[in-house]
Amino acid sequence: MTMIFGVPLAVLSGQLLIGIINGAFYALLSLGLAVIFGLLKIINFAHGAMYMLGALVTVVLFDLLGVNYWVALFVAPVLVGAFGMLIEYFLLRRIAGQDHIYSLLLTFGVALIIQGVLTNIYGVSGLRYSMPDLFKGGINLGFMFLPYYRAWVIVVALLVCFGTWFIIEKTKLGSYLRAGTEDSQLMQGFGINVPLLVSLTYGFGVMLAAFAGVLAAPIYSVTPVMGSNILIVVFAVVVIGGMGSIGGAIITGILMGVIEGLTKTFYPPASSAVIFLVMVLVLMIRPTGLFGKEA
Amino acid sequence: MNQPVNPADIHKAIVEQQKIQDRKKLMVNGVLLLLLLAAPFVMYPVFLMKILCFALFAVAFNLLFGFTGLLSFGHAAFLATGGYTTGYLLSNFSGLTTEMGIIAGTATATLLGLAFALLSIRRQGIYFAMVTLALAQLVFFFFVQSEFTGGEDGMHGIPRGELFGLINLEDNLNMYYFVLVVFIACYLLVQRIVSSPYGQILKAIKQNEPRAVSLGYNVDRYKILAFVISAALAGLAGSMKSVVFQLASLNDAHWHMSGEVILMTLVGGMGTLLGPVVGATFVVNIEYQLSQGPLRDWVDPILGGIFVLTVLAFRSGIVGELQKFMRKNLG
């Protein structure tokens, strides 16, 4: 069997694959955070809860109404995104213009509520969701076995990330969004409905999180607390990538997933901490993050 | 036209006013002290000590958040580091007296605080919060992986031992008065810091950092010192907590704990001296009362609700709102 640094190739590539998949989730989540932060200057502490809601809604829709995966892939993010817009409209809007710290604290409270209430309803043991039949099985690549679903996750996550980057950086809508955050009064003066734009942006960021949640439902255990720990990792990813950058969030996300996967192969005890260690290193060398522009 | 006023008269009036206020303050503090001294005869001392430990934790946090304007989302790391260090030393070296274990725990947390500060101080606002959160998570993983912490089970049976080798701390009353003395000393220390010229600089940094810089202050140094003091006091709170409960667990290191101390400070009134104490008392009581009743599974969402409500409506917290009310209605 082929060995690389004393590790069988199949094991290494397997861990690498898991790393890339985790990285795809980190990328989707940190992208959502970056969109919300970059455009609204809100740190969305409820992002993990929204990711969890995406997965939970998928499972519950299936159990109650038999809604299948493909419909859920569309419906769950829309539902959760609408929920996010309600939060923006009724809560976040009231503290707009205040110190950003308050939006962090507010969304932290919101996350506690959502998570706590759902834990009481569904417990923490994890709900089961079976994969759509289409994705059962996989292909043998010779050096490793690639399950279809994992391949699908990687492809679709990358597509969504790229699409988001394209919309924000390259389209007219994106330039409105960026301009609206630069000088909202001037934009208002041009006849653009900035509050609506803000709601939509928040809703969109939340949708990205919920979309990641739907993708996660068939492969991770769906519990009300599934979002709370991944969120902190994603925060670290965002710090490493540099907060301002949308492209940076995507690249760093995948990179960190891979690094985590490699650590799991070569030195398992450090695997859950390695991203934070990388963060410390990056902070020492480049305090603004790898892709960050200003302090 | 206004009557010309003699500046000396104004000065006299101010001094007079100050004297009255000082006397009022002294009386209030005296009454509080008496209450604290008498409390263990009315209430369960361990519960009171829990409140005092968390109050100290919140006071430490408030020095940084309320007075310097830096939101650390990683203070649980210091609480846990203090607790684990003290617990480990007291459990494994029977020659150590309790206060030595506590001092060592505090010192370790102080060093950790310095490391955190050096890494995070160049970031501001929410970046700072995220960096401290991630650093604290690193510490959390370290404690999860380490053998000496007992992992998920926690560290049990930490001996309370004897203070200075003389006073038996197994006795709850002795323990309580020890915790009370430490708490009051720290409270006075923070009060002193805040009203000192150094404290004024911290406030200046909070209000307008660029201005403080342009006045020639090396703000990073001031901020680092504030962070280290805050971490030291948080570590001390953790050390004492582990002695009081004879237990140190991962709960203390979890980021929920960092969130909780923010809640205590915010609810009580950040940037006020008494606020964190009131907030800690409030939160610990609410948690206890809820855990006894039919809502025992709803502690987290209720705390979350309090969080949201406080941020939306009572941002100055209980003490802050009371001060506003008094200023408005009582002159």
For residue A294, being part of any structural domain is answered with no
Q: Chain B within 8 Å of A95 (Cβ-Cβ)? A: yes
Residue A290 located in a structural domain: no
Residues of A in contact with B300 (CB under 8 A): 112-113, 115-116, 119
A4 domain-assigned: no
Residue in the block written with tokens 């459990």 = B91
Contact between A283 and B129 using a beta-carbon 8 Å cutoff: no
Mutate to test the interface with B, among A105, A231, A272 (most CBs of B within 10 A): A105
CB B119 within 8 A of CB B131: yes
Q: Which of A235, A271, A274, A275 to mutate to test the interface with B (most CBs of B within 10 A)?
A: A235
- Please report residues of A whose CB lies closer than 8 A to that of B262: 105, 108
pLDDT above 90 covers a percentage of chain B that reads 33
Cβ-Cβ contacts under 8 Å, A238 against chain B: 130
Q: How far is A249 from chain B (nearest CA, A)?
A: 15
Helix (H, G, I), strand (E, B) or coil at B163: strand
Answer yes or no: do A110 and B127 touch at CB < 8 A. Answer: no
ipTM given for this complex: 0.83
Q: Would the CB atoms of A109 and B306 count as touching at under 8 Å?
A: yes
Does residue A121 belong to the interface with chain B, where contact is any CB pair within 8 Å? Answer: no
Q: What is the pLDDT of residues B189-245, one digit of tens each?
A: 999 999 999 899 888 888 888 898 888 888 889 999 999 999 999 999 999 999 998
Annotate A226-287 with three-state secondary structure: HHHHHHHHHHHHHHHHCCCCHHHHHHHHHHHHHHHHHHHHHCHHHCCCHHHHHHHHHHHHCC
- State the total domains in chain A: 1
Query: Looking at residue A1, what is its pLDDT?
Result: 55
Give the pLDDT score at A14. 82
- B131, B306, B308: residue with CB nearest A283: B131
Strand-pair partners of B155: B248
User: Is residue A152 a part of any domain in this protein?
Assistant: yes
Any CB–CB contact under 8 A between B207 and chain A? Answer: no
A 10 A CB-CB count for A30 gives: 31
User: Contact at 8 Å (CB) between A60 and A214?
Assistant: no
DSSP-assigned beta bridge partners for residue A133? none
Residue B173 has pLDDT above 90, yes or no: no
Nearest to B311 among A109, A115, A295 (CB): A109
Dihedral of the alpha carbons of B286, B292, B293, B298, in degrees to the nearest 10: 60
Q: Where are the alpha helices (DSSP H) in A41-123?
A: 47-65, 69-90, 100-122
Query: In chain A, what residues touch B317 (CB-CB under 8 Å)?
Result: none
Looking at beta carbons, which residues of chain B come within 8 Å of A100? 125-126
The pLDDT assigned to A80 comes to 94
Q: Which of A108, A272, A278, A284 to mutate to test the interface with B (most CBs of B within 10 A)?
A: A108
pLDDT band at B61 (very low <50, low <70, confident <90, very high): very high
- Give me the tens of pLDDT residue by residue for chain A, a chain 295 residues long: 566 676 777 778 888 888 899 899 999 999 888 888 877 888 888 999 999 999 999 998 888 888 888 888 899 999 999 999 999 999 988 887 787 788 888 999 999 999 989 988 888 777 777 777 777 777 777 777 788 888 888 899 999 999 988 988 888 888 887 777 677 778 778 877 888 888 888 999 999 999 999 998 888 888 888 888 888 888 888 888 887 678 888 899 999 999 998 888 888 878 888 888 898 888 778 877 888 765 4
- Model pTM? 0.86
Alpha-carbon torsion A235, A240, A244, A250, what sign? negative
A279–chain B Cβ distance below 8 A for any pair: yes
End-to-end CA distance of chain A: 49
Residue A70 to residue B121: CA distance in whole angstroms: 46
Cβ-defined contact of B307 to A95 (cutoff 8 Å): no
**Chain B within 8 Å of A92 (Cβ-Cβ)?**
no
Q: Quick check: B80 and B73 in contact, CB under 8 A?
A: no
What residues does each domain of chain B span? 44-254
Count of helices and strands (H, E) across chain B: 13, 4
Residue A198 included in any domain: yes
Residues of the domain holding A70: 10-285
C-alpha to C-alpha distance for A21 and A146, rounded to whole angstroms: 12
**Cα dist from B191 to B63, B67, B187, B201, B272, whole Å:** 9, 11, 6, 14, 10
At B331, is the pLDDT very low, low, confident or very high (cuts 50, 70, 90)?
Answer: low
Please judge whether A235 and B298 are an interchain contact, meaning their C-beta atoms are less than 8 angstroms apart. Answer: no
Look at A116 and B300 and tell me if their CB atoms are within 8 Å.
Answer: yes
Contacts of B125 in chain A (CB under 8 A): 99-101
Residue A92 lies in a domain: yes
Indicate the average pLDDT of chain B.
87
Q: Is residue A157 part of a domain?
A: yes
For residue A295, the model assigns a pLDDT of 42
Burial of B311 (0-12, 13-18, 19+ CB in 10 A): buried
The verdict on a CB contact (< 8 Å) between A236 and B124 is: no
DSSP letters spanning B104-159: HHHHHHHHHHHHHHHHHTTS-HHHHHHHHHHHHHHHHHHHHH-TTTTGGG-EE---
Report the CATH number that the domain containing residue A93 is assigned in CATH. Answer: 1.10.3470
What is the interface size between A and B, counted as CB pairs within 8 Å?
114
The number of beta carbons lying within 10 Å of the beta carbon of residue A42 is 25
A230 in contact with B, Cβ within 8 Å: no
C-alpha dist (Å) from residue A263 to A28, A143, B280: 22, 20, 40
CA triplet A91, A96, A102: central angle to 5 degrees? 75
Within a domain: residue A36? yes
State the Cα–Cα distance between residues A107 and B308, nearest whole angstrom.
Answer: 8
B299 vs A180: CA distance, rounded Å: 39
Report the first-to-last Cα separation within chain B, whole angstroms.
Answer: 25
Contact list, B126 vs chain A (CB under 8 Å):
37, 43, 100-101, 104
Q: If residue B14 lies in a helix (H) or strand (E), which one and from where to where? A: helix B7-38
- Residue A240: both structure tokens together: 């490493």
User: Which 3-state string (H, E, C) describes B210-236?
Assistant: HHHHHCCCCHHHHHHHHHHHHHHHHHH
- Which residues in chain B are contacts of A283 at CB distance < 8 A? 119-120, 123, 131
> Would you state the pLDDT for residue B3?
67
CB within 8 Å of B162: residues ≥ 6 apart: B97, B98, B168, B169
